[in-house]
Every structure is written in structure tokens, then in C-alpha cells.
Structure 1
Amino acid sequence: MSMNTVGIEKIFAYPGALTLDMVALAEARGVSPSHPLEDLWVESRSLNPVWEDPVSMAVNAARGLLEGEDPEQVELVVVGTESSVDYGKPISSWVQRLAGIGPNCRNFETKHACYGGTGGLMAAAHWIASGFNRGKKALVVCSDQSRMHLGKPWEFVLGGAATAMLLSDKPELLEFELDKNGYWTHEISDTYRPTSRDEVGHADTSLFGYLEAVEGACEHFMEVSGEQDYDGNFARHVYHVPFGAMTYRAHRAVMRRWAPGRSNKELRAHFERKSKAGLKYNRRLGGTYTSATFLALMGTISAGEDLRGGDRISVFSYGSGSCSEFYPVRVGDRAREIVAAADLDGQLDARVRVSVPEYEAIEQARATYVDNPTYETDKRGPDGAWAKHWDARYEGRGLCVLDGVDNWERRYRLS
């Protein structure tokens, strides 16, 4: 069977309602502001009020994506996450119902740390490519939220967001070359979530695991595709973004191996030209886990004024534990128009800025909800401080919110 044209037709992101400035956090923690800004390349992070969680963000991303679309055309729903709210019931089941998708569809959740979204994306892409989709489309959503880590060294790389992608045989945003994907996996204990409360890991193990994976997946890509010109074959390079500065380390590792002979200064200039501008959204969102690669793709297209239809972008996805994938995509003729229509810049600007004490109160309140079988989310907060966030962002806007949990049954509605 010949492979059909397949790719991403449309993309959307939901960045959450609140934002915390990293300079303010650094000052509160007695850390130099240069650490988040210059060492990590993180300017701010997204933050969820207590009535937002990975389910509500996934639904809001899906609803934004499907605005103006016929949801009956979707017959596959996949949600990639490492932040699921239930060990059995998938987030995709809420997305199917609350996004207005019909009952004749498959839906499931994929988990492999930050790679889970890519795993779901590739499963959906192969369904489209098989032709057995009968012209129907797939919805792939990535949604994650960090745990509470007040005062910890890695507090500066936390965050949360959701992205949603519509896959079809009309890849107006990006077209896949599925016969050229390279992948690499190795069992490793670098970062993991052993309980519903904990998010732990080993920084050095994670760093070297990531770098080993990017070389392994890139090598497999070159073996499968027969392509060796890493520099010349791609207009841009996108890497998984646990934090912005990590992408430079990945780029440097790959370039030193497959395009050697450049000085550190030349490598940095090459990275600035072919990759760094794509971090424009990640810098403002913090850690977004399964969404990070796709937010970098959105940033790359948005910032790439010289990108043209047919240009190729290399994409590297990594998930702790570990699995990684290196794959090429071709830019669609309407790519910049589609990303602009998602208005992620406007959504980021519209977030409500919170102080460090407000951030700490929100995180502490959320922690009391974990493993709690019955509660109502407090939409007023201490002294009514959170009421402004609810009134300004949600009331009457049709956004998904969590009202609470009743004997373990989660109660979501559209505002």
C-alpha cells in the first residue's frame, strides 16, 4: 500500500491563565536573575489557578483548535501526557465529550514522559497514512502541569500548557516524511513521577541521557534516510525544550559529530541562525513537557519570516525513561498564516501576572487537592485575591474548568 500525504493541518495552544515572572522568583529565592534568564533562557512561566488542570487545558486547546471545524470529521483522539489525573480513565475521554466530538471515534492516552505526545502524534499519522481513516481526521493533544517544588533548584524550569493538532491528508501546516523517522530508546531513571504527588529525577543523568538520545536518534535517521548533510538539508532545527539552554547543547552535540570543524563561536552563531528564534514561546511558558517540541515548532514558524513552503525542519523529541525520535517535516504554504491565527502571542500577553506569594498560595492550595476524594475548587482564594483571575479570564467565555471532585468523580464544565 502506498503512503498517503499526511501531516498537521492546524495547530493551537492553550497557555493557561496566569504567569509568574522569573526575575521576581529569582529575587524571592535569593538567586541572581541571570540564572533563569541567561543560564536557562526562561523569562516567565505559565501557572494554572486551582480550577485548571491537565484535563481542562487539554479541552481548551482542543476547543480552540476545532473552532470553525466540523468535529464529526474527527475519528481518533489521542492525548499525550505525563500528568494524567487518573490511573485508568484517560484525559482523551473528557476531550472527546467536551470538545463536541461524536461517539464514533477511538480515544486513548499515551504516556512516555515528554515523548508521550510525539508517540501519540506518530500513531495518529500512521493511521492517516494507512488510508483506513477513510478521509477522517485525528486530534492529538498534549497537556501537562508541573508539581509543586517551592524553593527547589529546578523551580525555574517548571510550568504547564496544552497544545492541540489536527492531523489529516491535507497537511497545510506541516507534512511528514514518515519513511525517514529515526528513533532511539534506552531504559534510564533520569526523571519520573512515582506517585501522584512526586516529580523527581537526577539532573546529570537527565542531561547525559538527553544528549545520548539526540545523537542516537539522529544517527538512526541518517541510516534510514540515507541523508548525511545535517546542516544543508534543513532550514531550521527544533529540539525538545526542557529549558531553552538545553537546545543549544543538543545542537552543539549533533553539529560536532555530523558537521565538524566549527569553533564554539561559529557553533553558537549557527544555532542563533537556525534554532534559537524558535524558543520565543518556550521562554515565556517554562517547562511544558509533552507540548514543548510543538510550541518550539510554532515559535520556529512564527519567527521564520524567510521560511517558504517546502522548506524542511528537523524535529527532535525526547522523553525521560527514555525514548526519542528525530524526524523531518516540510513547511506548508499556509504555515505562518495558521500559526498566526492561533494567536499564541496574544494569549500569552493576556495572562494575569501573579506575585510570588500568590504563586506559592496557589501551589499550596493545589497540593491539598491531590488524592482528595471530595472537594470544591476555591475560585475566590484567600481574601478574594483570586476572584480577579476568574472574572477576567473565564466567566461566560466557554472555557473548561474544574469545579471539584465528588467521591473521586471529577466535575468539569464550560464557563
Structure 2
Amino acid sequence: MKIGIDEMAFATTDQYIDLRELAKRRGDEPDKYTIGIGQDQQAVVPPTQDIVTLGAAAAEKLLNPTNIKNISTIIVATESGIDNSKASAIYIKHLLGLNDFVRTVELKEACYSGTAAIQFARGLVALNPQETVLVIAADIARYGLNTPGEVTQGAGAVAMLIGANPHVLAIEPTAVSYSKDIMDFWRPLYATEAMVDGKYSTNVYIDFFLQTFTRYQQLTGRKLEDFAGLAFHLPFTKMGKKALEALLGQRTDPTAQRMRKQLTAEQAYCRQVGNLYTGSLYLGLMSMLQNGRIQAGDRLGLFSYGSGAEGEFYTGIVQAGFATYLNDIQADLDARHQVSIDEYERLFNAQLGMNSADQQFDLAGDQLPFVLAGQRDHQRIYQRNQ
């Protein structure tokens, strides 16, 4: 029985900044951001949006009267949780109007947990093939204004239906996980911005990719030539390029050329949104499917990485008609509007964060489907936008 990704959808905010403008404000050369880091634009998050509203917006694009009845479980993978106890999946279930006989849970392991959610979902479907699991990878990447990590911020959510006889990607059995206790990136409970050792984290990322891919080859006997493309976790797009080049070295043969072209296709959407943490690999996968030279029957490799650290390499076979089961991401990105650096900084500092006071946000400027209206008596207030 085939089990895998049946449908996929992406949602982000309707505002962004041009990173060339940010570079000028920070006194840097624009090429440092657009070439050195590999980012062009970055999603800007108003205080009325968080992982719950973005996750619900992505999931709603997938749902219809037929498939909504088969959802047995919602798993939200995030490192931007809004409560230390209550799962964000419960809020999303309510906003989507799903029935109460739905299991809801939240997973955490830095940027890796979206992959863990998919693997757990596959197990649930294997037990009950008539059921579908809704997996949502939603995050808001924050490092702080005028910090080295600022250029790698971002926000958004990828929603996926995991089921039997999938329409997008049938996941193959062999997967290789690899984990070590490493302090390359972390966010203590008292912090709203992440702490990161950037160069160290990049080196660990590359090592984990090579370790898992080599082990996968040993277990399966497959070669690089057996893949149409490799999709990488892309906290910034240059990271994937560094990992791929560590594998390819000086190779310029047709297989190496194909891998580089497919990586460029994978990077297209991530360059316009920024870091999604748990969702970055899967936005990249959607970008490769929509912008790369992919056809039914192709085998794709996926490398997932979460700091702290855990990596996983697994594979899937692209299914016939996959293109009709993805939302039109570029159209959504083109519909956004650019904001000034001053406005971006104002919105960055206006987030609810760890503030315990009652707050009521002005919803007039937010046109997205779901909003965070504020906080009252230590409880976040979510609603469908009017």
C-alpha cells in the first residue's frame, strides 16, 4: 500500500520587505544578502498573525466536504509554540470547524519536527488506511532586529494531507535518522528570539546530510543517478547549495548538472519568503515540483534537519497528476505588498510575545482568513476574519 503526501498547500502573510532595502539600512552590501545568503525577500508578520492563523490558512486551502470527513488527526510541527501546555493544533481544529472526534497534538524538535510528523502520520494511516492525517508545519523565524540572523527570518505554514494512495508523493520505506546533542541553535523558554552559532550550525548541517545520505546508500545500494533531484531544508537558500556542493565536489556530469538545476528550482519560493523552520523543506519541495523539471515516477530525496540536532534523509516517488494537488504559490506571493523597513521594524516590535497583559489588536489592516484578535485573561483570542 502506498502512503504519502496526498495534497499540499502553503500560506504566508500578505506583507514582505525587499532585503536589498534592509541591507542598505543595516549598512551592508545588497549582494551579501541576495548572493551570500541567497535571499531576496522576507515575510513580515503583523501582530494579528501567528502560527495558529497561518497554519489554519494553509490547511483551509486543502479542505473540501469530502476529505474533511476522513481527517482523524491534526499534527502541528513548530518551534514557535504559543503555549507550553496546550497544543496549537487544538486552536486550528476549532478555527477550521473540524468535529470533536479528531486527535490533536504538537511536535517539537527545531526545524526537523515537520518530517517527524509525516513519519508518525504514515504509521497512523498504515493502521487505518481509510483515515487521513493533517500535518501542518508552521513557524515564525525571529532573531531580532539588527542581528546577524536577521536576514534569515521569515514566516509561513505548509499544510499536508497524509494518506493512502497519495496524489503528490508516495514515501518509500527506507529512512535514515541521525541525532546528536549539539548547541548550534536554541531558544530558552524565556526568549522570544533564537540563539544561533551560524557557522557551526552550517557545518553540522552539512555533516548530517553527508552522514544520512551515505548511510541511505549503504542500506539501499542506490546512487545519486537514481534521483531526479534532492530537496533540502532551506533556512536560507545558500545552505542547501553548500550541502549539495559538499556531495558533488567538482562533478560536472549530467547528473550533477541536473541536481544543481533542481536545487535552483527548489530555492525559488524560499528566496521570496525566508526561513520557515519546520516548513522550509516542504516549501522547497513544492517549489521544486512547480518550478523544476519533475515528472511522474521520479524519485526525489529529501533531507530534513533540525538544530540541536537531528537530521533525516528519506525518499519518495512523484505521482501522476501531482501538479493539481498543490496551491498556486507564486500567485499568492505576487499578491503581497511591500512594506518599508520602518514599518517592518514597528510590526516586529508589536508582537504579542511573552506579554501577559490584556491586548486588543486593530484588525482593520489584516485581510488574511484568520486573525489573532488579542489576549484577555491570559488567553489568546482567535477568529475568522470578517
Q: TM-score, normalised by structure 2?
A: 0.95
Deviation at 1:272, TM superposition (A): 2.9
Whether 1:247 and 2:240 are equivalent positions in the alignment is yes
Deviation at 1:68, TM superposition (A): 5.3
In 2, Cα distance between equivalents of 1:266 and 1:307: 16
Deviation at 1:252, TM superposition (A): 1.4
Instruction: Say if 1:26 and 1:32, in contact at 8 Å, map to a contact too.
Output: yes
Which letter does structure 2 place at the counterpart of 1:239? Answer: F
Which letter does structure 2 place at the counterpart of 1:376? Answer: Q
In 2, Cα distance between equivalents of 1:59 and 1:351: 18
Over the aligned positions, Cα root-mean-square deviation in angstroms equals: 1.8
Instruction: Say if 1:182 and 1:222, in contact at 8 Å, map to a contact too.
Output: no
Q: Which runs of 4+ in 1 moved over 4 A?
A: 265-271
Equivalent residue in structure 1 for 2:146, among 125, 145, 151: 151
Whether 1:412 and 2:361 are equivalent positions in the alignment is no
Instruction: Say if 1:20 and 1:47, in contact at 8 Å, map to a contact too.
Output: yes
Alpha carbons of structure 1 residues 208 and 356: separation in structure 2 relative to 1, 3 Å: same
Equivalent residue in structure 2 for 1:318, among 276, 281, 305: 305
Equivalent residue in structure 1 for 2:251, among 259, 262, 266: 262
Instruction: Say if 2:301 and 2:315, in contact at 8 Å, map to a contact too.
Output: yes
Alpha carbons of structure 1 residues 267 and 335: separation in structure 2 relative to 1, 3 Å: closer
Number of the residue aligned with 2:62: 65
Instruction: Say if 2:302 and 2:313, in contact at 8 Å, map to a contact too.
Output: yes
Deviation at 1:333, TM superposition (A): 0.7
For residues 361-391 of structure 1, the C-alpha deviation after alignment (integer angstroms, 9 at most, x for no partner) is 001111xx222223334327xxxxxx5x43x
Aligned with 2:61: secondary structure? helix
Number of the residue aligned with 2:188: 194
In 2, Cα distance between equivalents of 1:236 and 1:148: 31
Alpha carbons of structure 1 residues 222 and 63: separation in structure 2 relative to 1, 3 Å: same
Number of the residue aligned with 2:159: 164
Instruction: Say if 2:358 and 2:378, in contact at 8 Å, map to a contact too.
Output: no
Number of the residue aligned with 1:373: 356
Number of the residue aligned with 2:43: 46
Equivalent residue in structure 1 for 2:284, among 278, 285, 296: 296
Instruction: Say if 2:184 and 2:196, in contact at 8 Å, map to a contact too.
Output: yes
In 2, Cα distance between equivalents of 1:327 and 1:118: 9
Instruction: Say if 1:377 and 1:402, in contact at 8 Å, map to a contact too.
Output: no
Number of the residue aligned with 1:400: 370
Deviation at 1:352, TM superposition (A): 2.1
In 2, Cα distance between equivalents of 1:235 and 1:270: 7
Which letter does structure 2 place at the counterpart of 1:238? Answer: A
Instruction: Say if 1:237 and 1:275, in contact at 8 Å, map to a contact too.
Output: yes
Which letter does structure 2 place at the counterpart of 1:213? Answer: F
In 1, Cα distance between equivalents of 2:323 and 2:283: 14
Aligned with 2:49: secondary structure? coil
Task: Quote the sequence identity (%).
Answer: 27
In 2, Cα distance between equivalents of 1:13 and 1:133: 27
Which letter does structure 2 place at the counterpart of 1:291? Answer: G
Which letter does structure 2 place at the counterpart of 1:125? Answer: R
Deviation at 1:309, TM superposition (A): 0.9
Which letter does structure 1 place at the counterpart of 2:316? Answer: V
Instruction: Say if 1:71 and 1:100, in contact at 8 Å, map to a contact too.
Output: no
Number of the residue aligned with 1:176: 171
Instruction: Say if 1:20 and 1:359, in contact at 8 Å, map to a contact too.
Output: yes
Number of the residue aligned with 1:337: 324
Instruction: Say if 1:193 and 1:200, in contact at 8 Å, map to a contact too.
Output: yes
Alpha carbons of structure 1 residues 62 and 242: separation in structure 2 relative to 1, 3 Å: same
Aligned with 2:16: secondary structure? strand
Number of the residue aligned with 2:344: 359
Whether 1:89 and 2:89 are equivalent positions in the alignment is no
- Which stretch shifts more, 64-73 or 218-227? 64-73
Whether 1:279 and 2:267 are equivalent positions in the alignment is yes
- Which stretch shifts more, 309-318 or 141-150? 141-150
Deviation at 1:5, TM superposition (A): 1.1
Alpha carbons of structure 1 residues 203 and 223: separation in structure 2 relative to 1, 3 Å: same
Instruction: Say if 2:16 and 2:41, in contact at 8 Å, map to a contact too.
Output: yes
Number of the residue aligned with 2:219: 224
Aligned with 1:117: secondary structure? helix
Aligned with 1:188: secondary structure? coil
Whether 1:21 and 2:18 are equivalent positions in the alignment is yes
Which letter does structure 1 place at the counterpart of 2:373? Answer: D
Deviation at 1:273, TM superposition (A): 2.2
In 1, Cα distance between equivalents of 2:119 and 2:247: 23
Q: TM-score, normalised by structure 1?
A: 0.89
Deviation at 1:41, TM superposition (A): 1.1
Alpha carbons of structure 1 residues 18 and 375: separation in structure 2 relative to 1, 3 Å: farther
Deviation at 1:250, TM superposition (A): 0.6
Deviation at 1:105, TM superposition (A): 2.1
Instruction: Say if 1:20 and 1:46, in contact at 8 Å, map to a contact too.
Output: yes
Deviation at 1:153, TM superposition (A): 1.7
Alpha carbons of structure 1 residues 67 and 42: separation in structure 2 relative to 1, 3 Å: farther
Instruction: Say if 1:49 and 1:362, in contact at 8 Å, map to a contact too.
Output: yes
Deviation at 1:106, TM superposition (A): 1.6
5+ residue gaps in structure 1?
381-386
| Aligned counterparts, 1:70-81, within 5 A | 70-81=67-78
Instruction: Say if 1:148 and 1:364, in contact at 8 Å, map to a contact too.
Output: no
- Which stretch shifts more, 285-294 or 97-106? 97-106
How many equivalent residue pairs?
384
